[in-house]
A and B are shown apart, each in its own frame.
Chain A
Amino acid sequence: MKFPKPHDVKTIPGTEGWERMYPYQYQFVTDDPERHQYEEQAFWFYDGLHYPEAIYPFDTIWDEAWYLGLSQFNNRIFQVPPVRGVDHRIINGYVYISPVPVLDPEEVASRVPNFMERAGFYYQNWNELEAKWEVKMRALIKQIEDLPISRLPDLEELDVVLSGMGESKGFHLLRTYDELINLGIQCWQYHFEFLNLGYAAYVFFLDFVQKLFPSAPLQRVTQMIAGIDVIMYRSDQELKTLAKKAIELGVDEVLTGCKHWREAEPELKALANGQKWLAELEIARYPWFHVSTGTGWSHVDKSWNDDLNIPFLGISSYIEQLRQGTDIERPLEKVRAERDRITQEYRSLIASEDDKQTFDNLLATAKTVFPYVENHMFYVEHWFHTVFWKKMREVAAIMHEHGLIEEVEDIWYLRRDEIKQGLWDLVTAWATGVKPRGAKVWPPEIAWRKGVMEKFQAWSPPPAVGTAPEVINEPFTIVLWGVTNSSIADWSQVQEVTDPDSITTLKGFAGSPGIVTGRARVCRSVEDISQLEEGEVLVAPTTSPSWAPIFSKIKAVVTDVGGVMSHAAIVCREYGLPAVVGTGHGTKVIKTGMMLRVDGSSGVITIDR
């Protein structure tokens, strides 16, 4: 398969100089022959899974965090034998990644004992280590929640003198910013402590079953690990509980009678039972409403706690369903019974006793790692990130107050080291009593970057560049991006279609089985879900736990991003709805109102034009 050379991809006219928006090591280079040759011979694929859009300069923080986190655990801590880390680059605002193989067979062999000892220790002590992890993670989140970000006063408080503190708020701002960033990076260190091993156990269980049963769909194999209680469902559960509580307290009419949380809140406050209900809400929302409406990877992704109207709509919808006598509880018993039946039937078809034993071993390991694989996301991408974005906006507000940026939301156009520079400028000028230089430097630069980002968003990144390898050993690459010959071919096909209005079929991963025909409703964000009507097919960039209330209303789901392990796929399997995930361009090609035939067993969507 042919892919363009990374260095041949053209800069979009009008964006010349875009490279300065990102760290310098992210550029494909031509002035360093050795690096140039390495870049040309490596295989780089576009990470559309994490970055469906061009990346903002500040948001690069999470890319750098996982660049470091994944690679260090793979290569320096566990020594995965055939692969080092995963290298990163950016082309026209889009992130490309490349697993780095260990080519020398002797070196691979020499890494094996280390891997067996180290990874083996984690697998053997998984539950204990995971319990430890949760303690570390909660402490870290507490730290960031407690981190004070205070405005710079005209005059420091008297206590600074009386207590002999000897430090200023200006210095504190610099230090707090560093701490904020460090906590973020540290959080992502923990994120990867288990993840790659978890994925490996999971993916090779799937792989083993497919070796025994080449036609077994992945979605069915993942069902063998369904019904394990993971906290992904907890936030949604809280909404259901609050809906029941509202009916119990007789305030349900208040909630469903209001169109927006803005109206509902004061009405509830005026009622004694309303206040009781609000007290329940306060308990539930920390931490369970720290759940992002997107993946949590981008500053754009709001959480329920940022906008209580989102959970409010979910609660109202549950109240309506309860009134109609609908059972809103997760069909957990059914899911578990079906899981056990499927597992037993597949197992009974295994010919040899030895293979049955291996199947049992791998299934047990996959079940052990599964809760972490699911739960880490709530702690990191949802809870921690929600707090992190909020704190960053507090920093941005100070920069805005001092004129370094024109709007709070402009901060995302700056790299995090540029923000540090800006804060130095700000605090020294504040201390000195002069105007910061940045007030004239950053606004025009940000204005230019906004134009660049717009051009980036309109550009379609090639699915891959460089030289395709013969073998991929990196577990992440296999499980998350599903990199295979056919998937790469599928990506390039969609890329080649110049006219999205001519497409009548779309391919994605078969996320959840079944076939339905229904009207499409394109929801770009969770705010759009209130438009959803009973029996429509949801078409979304991706879904997250905050979308949960709508699954009992819709017929099927189509997403741009995600694999068989994505939220949409897992939830659809529980609710028995067909899902096609990871279509790449579903929300661009499909328009609200189109009639779709969604085949969740084969992963094909047919558009009736």
Chain B
Amino acid sequence: MKNTSSRQHANAPATASGLPLVCWFEECRKDAVELVGGKCSSLGELINAGVRVPPGFALTTEGYRRFMSEAGIDREVRALLAGADPGNLDKLELASSQIRELIESHPFSHEIEDLVAESYRKLSVRSCLPAVPVAVRSSATAEDLPGASFAGQQDTYLWIRGADEVLHHMRRCVSSLYTARAIAYRIGQGYHDDQVAISVGVQKMANSFTAGVMFTLHPGNGDRSVIVIDANYGFGESVVSGEVTPDNFVVNKITLDILQRTISQKEIYYTVDQATQVSRPIEVPLERQKVQSLMDDEVCELAWMGKEIEKHYGRPMDIEWAVDKDLPFGGNIFILQARPETVWSQKQQSPAAKPGTSAMDYILSSMLQGKRLA
């Protein structure tokens, strides 16, 4: 990623500079990482693969650069970081907070503000809501590359409503590129700051009744013939963070039938506080704690989506999903995020039998081994 360039992007609509400042997810494909970061390009890829994803748009890295240069922030940043020593954390912290303050307090240009506000309005119209609640999150250009998490903190702000709030949180995401740790890492790795860029995604919040994660292999043993789903009520946070033992479903990937259901006692779930518009944990009513949080039909549909996503990417995937409570079954399951599974995929798997094993050899060696009872 050291030679991040301003290569022309085929799918994005051209602007005066040749690259868009803001674009819709569906206009991005997986090769748009340099323009909209890993997260947003992957969402665009999913939409184009026919997977149901909550709609949204992104401030592109071009938009980010325009913002930084138009206001002269980039020059100030360079000055603040001149001669920075990655060993001196105190000084870095100071520089970081100055830079972040600078970014967050500076308005976008009218051009960008108008583009974002217009996209937000269109998104609200598409969602049939007056001011659609959205998630605003940074989408780094290198986050999915193993061992290259130099983007630093990945900020996510949920339940944001109104164009001004959206713009404000977009700047907060941009500033997350300049945490002390991220700066230190970049200096240590020899990256020049010109090579660093960030994109910000704005996506309709799924008003999830149930949410969770899905692996297109068995996380326990790497078995690629199954899809494993963890689910709890509310947002996926409780599942991702491990705060509850979720319901667990093992689905046969080939035949899409449920092999195993484990219904757990789910004590809390996350939902949005309507007054403060932030997500917070709430106790699950006792009578619902041991009730299956995802219906069998939904499990199977979700697994089908997982299988399609894996087929599209050609590798096992780690997926976040949600069931929207405002929509009826048949169109209510959404994929929020999909990234390559990394644990089992990077493991060197030894073959189950020696190369060139004949049936006879295998039968004999299996007989000699027998079946362990103890």
Contact = CB atoms under 8 A, between A and B. Distances in A.
A207 B366 contact: yes
A220 to B, nearest CB: 6
Interface stretch (A356-364, A387-395, A536-544): A356-364
B95 to A, nearest CB: 48
Contact of B223 (A214, A470, A475): A214
Contact of B371 (A211, A217, A471, A602): A471
Contact of B351 (A83, A355, A469): A355
A432 interface: no
Interface stretch (A6-14, A116-124, A162-170, A550-558): A116-124
A226 B371 CA distance: 26
The residue in B218, B352, B362 that gathers the most chain A C-beta atoms within 10 A of its C-beta is B352
A200 interface: yes
Interface residues of A, number: 55
B341 to A, nearest CB: 14
A123 B353 contact: no
Contacts of B296: 515
A119 B364 CA distance: 10
Interface string B36-51: 0000000000000000
A123 B360 contact: yes
Task: Please classify how large the interface on chain B is, using the bins under 10, 10 to 19, 20 to 34, 35 or more.
Answer: 35 or more
Contacts of A341: 254
Given A201-B359, A361-B357, A513 B257 contact: yes
Contact of B352 (A123, A212, A345, A513): A212
A120 B226 CA distance: 35
Given A470-B373, A601-B257, A602-B259, A355 B363 contact: no
Given A215-B225, A352-B351, A355-B351, A200 B367 contact: yes
A215 B218 contact: yes
A139 interface: no
Contacts of B352: 208, 211-212, 355, 358
Contacts of B349: 351-352
A200 B363 contact: yes
A580 to B, nearest CB: 14
Interface in A467-493: 468-473, 475, 478, 483-485
A480 to B, nearest CB: 13
Contact of A361 (B221, B225, B261, B362): B362
A342 interface: yes
A468 B358 CA distance: 32
A346 B360 CA distance: 22
A213 interface: yes
A362 B364 contact: no
Interface in B338-370: 349, 351-360, 362-364, 366-370
A217 B259 contact: yes
Contacts of B127: none
A3 to B, nearest CB: 12
Interface string B291-325: 00000100000000000000000000000000000
B138 interface: no
A351 B349 CA distance: 8
Contacts of B355: 354, 357
Nearest 8 interchain pairs by C-beta: A473-B370, A213-B225, A365-B359, A470-B374, A354-B355, A471-B370, A358-B353, A349-B224
Interface of B: 218, 221, 223-226, 250, 252-255, 257-261, 296, 349, 351-360, 362-364, 366-374
